[in-house]
């Protein structure tokens, strides 16, 4: 069997499982909505301000850093697979690659991307 | 020999095995967690249903199935309903490339590690959808925190596995390593105890730490910090939809433990898991493709794999009862400033040692140096979080010392009245 078919089948089964369970619990469970029950959770009092609010830019910075560093980390993997074949040349390339990574890392560190509060 | 009927039967058996494993693992782990935590905290734990309360979590599942699904009137319905699926689907899919034994694997995929990392990143989308779609303050903050945490720990998780991939390249005879789980387990078989944890202990510790953070378990369970965020992104969920998130979380624990077992603890290797031995001693073959020797071997292999997985999951529970929860800023700085540099150092040191040390000593020296690195990491960690009770002063003494040294108050606080006193003098009497 082609190696990628099981991934699709498994993902489809997972979706089907969750849908099935949700349908079953919709049928079995009681349905008695009241205004209090359907209010958004707020420790027992009614909501004062709407929930959508501005959130710190830190989360966005973390997300962008993740994309950059994740691509770089993923590109270390093929180098590691062939490390013995590549030998000393590969080692020099690896050191150069990590050095470039570290420059970027130190830059964002000095810019304060890792200081929270 | 290609036998399409045998392949289909094989596929169905393995898929059913994995689904059964995910479902029962959650039930078993919930019970074990409650019972073991109770024993560690000198309580009794669940005791009413079944022997030693062992049916408690089964009853819990039935109860959840009969609960009403409450939806807040402000939720974004499509996102809210889809989030449990998006969270659960990658968890079940990740089992595709995990080999529990040579037979119990669904797909001989060549890109195991990368697929695993990609799927564990997909989980983040489910969490964020749950936080955003709930349209509630606690859910939103919990979802954001959880997203930031999960993507930050994704990086050291992948980087800590690079050392293992490098080792497969050096252990193999032609210099080409592999990132497929089956190949990595086979690479650890040459003496059967050559598990990569002996060569990369630091890698295992960092991988496991990141696994704790990926699964939102204590001490990294900030998104679910009851004392500040109610239940994080789960606040608005109820009944079986909530249980789907829990099923996904326990499935994630199972995957983290299985990947650690496959990559570091030698997979199914153990006493008795030797195919050649069984083929030599058991020759009965009732006319199928699958002989009795294969069957015995695979049962033993799955047994050893599960023993290691459950030992690692036990450590999840142990850690939860032992360590206090981290603070949000400590959490992020721990990932970015300690774990990522440490994994990069580990990669460099491993590469240099494997290339520089001559042949018969290569693995010995690499393992030894990695153990030294592990000790260094632990020292760094104790200094960074100040967990050592020796030499640590109460915060107000530290603040006064710092104030006496710099002439300023503690940052962010008004200048304390006692700051002008030289250290060591008694407090002025509080009478007026």
DSSP letter for each residue of B83-97? HHHHHHHHHHHGGGG
Q: Which residue of A has its CA nearest to B164?
A: A80
Token reading at A33 = 């909505």
Report the run of H or E that residue B239 belongs to, with start and end. Answer: helix B239-264
pLDDT of residue B257: 92
CA proximity to B370, closest of B207, B194, B203: B203
pLDDT grade for B291, boundaries at 50, 70 and 90: confident
> Would you state the pLDDT for residue B144?
84
Going from the N-terminus, what domains does chain A have, and what CATH number goes with each?
5-110 (1.20.58.1610)
d(CA B54, CA B52): 5
For residue B430, the SS3 value is coil
Tokens matching residue B334: 């721990």
Average pLDDT over residues B319-336: 82
- Which residues are within 8 A (CB) of B312 and not within 5 positions of it... i.e. 6 or more apart? B208, B256, B257, B260, B261, B265
Q: What percent of chain B has pLDDT over 90?
A: 6
Helix B4-40 / helix B239-264 crossing angle, nearest 10 deg: 100
Q: For residue B309, what pLDDT band results from cuts at 50, 70 and 90?
A: very high
pLDDT at A69: 85
Given this model, what pLDDT does residue A77 score? 87
Contact B292, B208 (CB under 8 A): no
Mean of all residue pLDDT scores within chain B: 81
Residue among B173, B202, B211 nearest B350 (CA): B202
- So what's the pLDDT on residue B61? 85
Q: B155, A66: Cβ pair inside 8 Å?
A: yes
Chain A hits for B88, CB-CB cut-off 8 Å, are 14, 17-18
Judged against a pLDDT cut of 70, whether residue B285 lies above it is answered with no
Spell out which residues of chain B touch residue A58, defining contact as CB-CB under 8 Å: 148
CB contact under 8 A, B114 and A74: yes
Q: What is the pLDDT, as a whole number, of residue B95?
A: 86
Name the token pair of B87.
């969270």
Q: What is the pLDDT of residue B423?
A: 52
Rounded to an integer, what distance in angstroms lies between the CA atom of residue B297 and that of residue B293?
6
- pLDDT of B171 reads 81
Alpha helices in B94-221 (DSSP H): 112-134, 137-171, 181-187, 201-214
When pLDDT is averaged across residues B187-208 and rounded to a whole number, the result is 85
B201-246 pLDDT, tens digit per residue, is: 898 999 999 998 888 887 887 766 666 777 778 877 887 888 888 8
* Mean pLDDT (whole number) for B71-92: 84
The helix/strand count (H/E) of chain A reads as 4, 0
What integer pLDDT is reported at residue B207 of this predicted model? 92
ipTM of the complex: 0.86
Look at A82 and B175 and tell me if their CB atoms are within 8 Å.
yes
- In the prediction, which pLDDT does A109 show? 85
Burial annotation A86-104 (CB, 10 A radius, 16+ → b, else e): beeebbeebeeebeebeee
Element (H, E) at A105: helix A83-110
Instruction: Note whether A84 contacts B354, CB cutoff 8 Å.
Output: yes
Confirm if B263 and B161 have CB atoms less than 8 A apart.
yes
Q: Is A53 on the interface with B (CB under 8 A)?
A: yes
Give CA–CA dist A77/B318, Å, rounded. Answer: 32
Label residue B7 left, alpha or beta by phi (over 0 means left) and psi (-120 to 50 means alpha). Answer: alpha
- Please tell me the distance from the alpha carbon of residue A68 to that of residue A63, in angstroms, as a whole number: 9
- Kindly determine whether residue A22 and residue B240, on different chains, have CB atoms separated by under 8 Å: yes
| Chain mean pLDDT for chain A | 81
**Record: contact B68-A30, CB cut-off 8 A:** yes
> What pLDDT, in 10s, does the model give residues A15-37?
888 888 888 888 887 877 777 77
Chain B residues touching residue A117 (CB < 8 angstroms): 329
Task: Tell me: pLDDT of B52 over 60.
Answer: yes
pLDDT at residue B392 in the model: 57
- Interchain contact, B137 vs A42, CB within 8 Å: yes
Taking only the tens place, the pLDDT of each residue in A95-109 is: 998 898 888 888 888
Q: Which residues contact B68 (CB under 8 A, 6 or more apart)?
A: A29, A30, A31, A32, B238, B239
Least CB-CB distance to A77: which of B85, B162, B235?
Answer: B162
Compute the Cα dihedral for B303, B304, B309, B310 and give only its sign. Answer: positive
Lowest mean pLDDT among A103-107, B47-51, B342-346, B391-395: B391-395
Mean pLDDT is lowest, of A21-25, B11-15, B290-294, B412-416, for: B412-416
Q: Where residue B288 falls among pLDDT bands split at 50, 70, 90?
A: low
**Which residues does chain A have within 8 Å of residue B95's beta carbon, measured at their own beta carbons?**
10
Closest CB to B328: pick one of A52, A69, A116.
Answer: A116
Q: Give the pLDDT mean for B384-393.
A: 58
Q: Does A106 touch chain B (CB under 8 A)?
A: no
| B431 — pLDDT class (breaks 50, 70, 90) | very low
- Chain B nearest C-alpha distance from A58 (Å): 9
Give the sign of the dihedral formed by CA B249, CA B24, CA B272, CA B275: negative
* Total number of residues shown for chain A: 117
Any B CB within 8 A of A37 CB:
yes
**Closest Cβ opposite residue B68 in set A10, A17, A29:** A29
Structure confidence at residue A102 (pLDDT): 87
Residues of A in contact with B348 (CB under 8 A): 94-95, 98
A83·B355 Cβ contact <8 A: yes
Q: Of the spans A3-12, B187-196, B305-314, B365-374, which averages the highest pLDDT?
A: B305-314
pLDDT at B43 over 60: yes
For chain B, give the percent of residues with pLDDT over 70: 87
Enter the DSSP assignment of B350: H
d(C-alpha B334, C-alpha B341), whole Å = 10
Kindly calculate the radius of gyration of chain B based on its CA atoms and give it in whole angstroms. Answer: 25
The residue among B57 and B417 whose pLDDT is bigger is B57
Please answer yes or no on whether B230 and A41 come within 8 Å at the CB atom. Answer: yes
Neighbouring C-alpha atoms within 13 Å toward the C-beta of B101: 23
């Amino acid at each position: 069997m082609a190696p990628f078919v099981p991934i699709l089948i498994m993902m489809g089964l997972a979706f089907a499982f969750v849908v099935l369970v949700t349908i079953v619990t919709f049928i079995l469970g009681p349905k008695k909505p009241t205004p209090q029950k359907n209010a958004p959770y707020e420790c027992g009092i009614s909501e004062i301000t709407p929930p959508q609010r501005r959130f710190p830019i830190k989360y966005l910075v973390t997300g962008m850093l993740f994309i950059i560093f994740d691509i770089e980390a993923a590109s270390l993997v093929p180098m590691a697979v062939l490390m013995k074949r590549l030998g000393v040349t590969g080692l020099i390339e690896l050191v150069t690659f990590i050095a470039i990574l570290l420059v970027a890392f130190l830059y964002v560190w000095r810019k304060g991307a890792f200081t929270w509060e | 020999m290609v036998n399409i009927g045998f392949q289909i039967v094989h596929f169905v058996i393995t898929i059913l095995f994995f689904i059964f494993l995910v479902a029962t693992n959650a039930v078993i782990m919930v019970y074990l967690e409650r019972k073991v935590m109770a024993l560690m905290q000198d309580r009794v734990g669940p005791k009413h249903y079944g022997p030693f309360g062992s049916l408690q979590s089964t009853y819990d599942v039935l109860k959840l199935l009969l609960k009403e699904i409450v939806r807040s009137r402000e939720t974004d319905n499509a996102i809210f309903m889809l989030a449990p699926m998006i969270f659960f689907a990658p968890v079940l899919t990740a089992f595709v490339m995990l080999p529990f034994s040579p037979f119990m694997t669904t797909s001989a995929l060549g890109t195991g590690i990368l697929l695993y990392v990609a799927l564990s990143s997909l989980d983040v989308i489910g969490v964020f959808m749950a936080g955003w779609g709930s349209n509630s303050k606690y859910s939103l903050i919990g979802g954001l925190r959880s997203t930031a945490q999960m993507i930050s720990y994704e990086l050291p998780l992948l980087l800590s596995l690079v050392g293992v991939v490098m080792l497969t390249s050096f252990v193999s005879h032609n210099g080409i390593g592999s990132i497929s789980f089956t190949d990595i387990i086979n690479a650890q078989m040459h003496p059967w105890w050559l598990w990569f944890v002996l060569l990369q202990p630091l890698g295992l510790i960092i991988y496991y730490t990141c696994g704790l953070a990926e699964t939102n378990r204590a001490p990294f369970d900030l998104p679910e910090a009851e004392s500040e965020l109610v239940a994080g992104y789960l606040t608005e969920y109820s009944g079986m939809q909530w249980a789907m998130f829990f099923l996904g979380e326990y499935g994630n624990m199972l995957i983290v433990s299985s990947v650690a077992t496959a990559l570091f603890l030698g997979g199914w290797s153990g006493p008795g898991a030797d195919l050649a031995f069984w083929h030599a001693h058991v020759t009965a073959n009732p006319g199928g493709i699958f002989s009795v020797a294969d069957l015995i071997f695979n049962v033993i292999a799955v047994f050893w794999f599960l023993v290691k997985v459950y030992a690692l999951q036990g450590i999840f529970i142990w850690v939860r009862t032992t360590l206090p929860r981290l603070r949000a800023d400590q959490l992020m700085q721990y990932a970015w400033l300690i774990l990522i540099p440490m994994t990069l150092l580990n990669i460099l040191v491993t590469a240099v040692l494997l290339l520089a040390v001559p042949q018969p000593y290569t693995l010995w020296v690499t393992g030894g140096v990695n153990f030294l690195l592990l000790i260094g990491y632990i020292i760094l960690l104790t200094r960074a979080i100040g967990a050592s009770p020796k030499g640590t002063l109460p915060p107000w003494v530290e603040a006064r010392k710092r104030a006496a040294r710099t002439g300023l108050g503690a940052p962010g606080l008004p200048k304390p009245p006692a700051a002008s006193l030289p250290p060591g003098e008694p407090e002025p009497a509080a009478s007026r």
